[in-house]
A and B are shown apart, each in its own frame.
Chain A
């Protein structure tokens, strides 16, 4: 049983690796069809998407620093009622 399963997997693996054809796929190769305009679009898009996470983290970090430096407010407790000390 085990040998038959191994044999089946071997045939499948050989079929997948030997009988398939090469496919060229590239996420940014579409820029070639769009010419220089698309290249420019990819350039600015990559720049924006690279810079933005740093900006987001910087904003959150600045907010955390500001929140940590803010002085704690004293709890608003009412004045104790009682005889005045003289």
Chain B
């Protein structure tokens, strides 16, 4: 990818991330209005969210941001093995994050917290679910890049396109601690 093309791709991703920021801002503000308007939060007879497990999960996702940074740095320096290792580590950490999230949701559904059980479940699944869908999208993109790297179609010289993936990954990683603090801790 030439520098001009890479810059155009980065600008396109930046604009896309701007629209994503507004999407999540809409979800967060809706959550704030419902939460601050409720006399008691969480509403009575609703299950409490698993704060401890999600804290560990947060650490996993933050670590995946670090491994992505290492993969991008290796790609910039022409280190193909380092790039592939960093990408595999990132994919594994992202998959682990999603698996733990899925398990958490399964347990919450067992305790009766569904999207239609009330405003608490509705806002929780909308906000956290939207983030999970974004992680899944990033993970799918990462898998495509990894398959390309495995078959030799993706080389460190393609770090321009990798950096666009990195921007998206950093976005989903950076967003999560904010959502975790807002929904689980505050």
Residues of A within 8 A of B (CB): 30-31, 33-35, 37-38, 40-42, 44-45, 48-49, 52-53, 56-57, 59-60, 63-64, 67, 72-73
Interface of B is mostly: helix
Whether A63 pairs with B11 at a CB distance below 8 angstroms is yes
Measured between C-beta atoms, what is the minimum distance from A40 to chain B in Å?
5
Interface of A is mostly: helix
Measured between C-beta atoms, what is the minimum distance from B17 to chain A in Å?
8
Whether B34 sits at the interface, judged by CB under 8 Å, is: yes
Whether A63 pairs with B26 at a CB distance below 8 angstroms is no
Q: A37-B37, A56-B18, A67-B7 are in contact. Are A44 and B25 (CB under 8 A)?
A: no
Whether B36 pairs with A37 at a CB distance below 8 angstroms is yes
Whether B56 sits at the interface, judged by CB under 8 Å, is: no
From 1 to 28 in chain B, residues with beta carbon under 8 angstroms from any chain A beta carbon are 3, 7, 10-11, 14-15, 18, 21-22, 25-26, 28
Whether A41 pairs with B36 at a CB distance below 8 angstroms is yes
Known: A34-B38, A38-B33, A60-B14. 9 other contacts (CB 8 A): A30-B33, A31-B37, A33-B37, A34-B36, A37-B36, A37-B39, A63-B11, A63-B14, A73-B3
Measured between C-beta atoms, what is the minimum distance from A27 to chain B in Å?
11
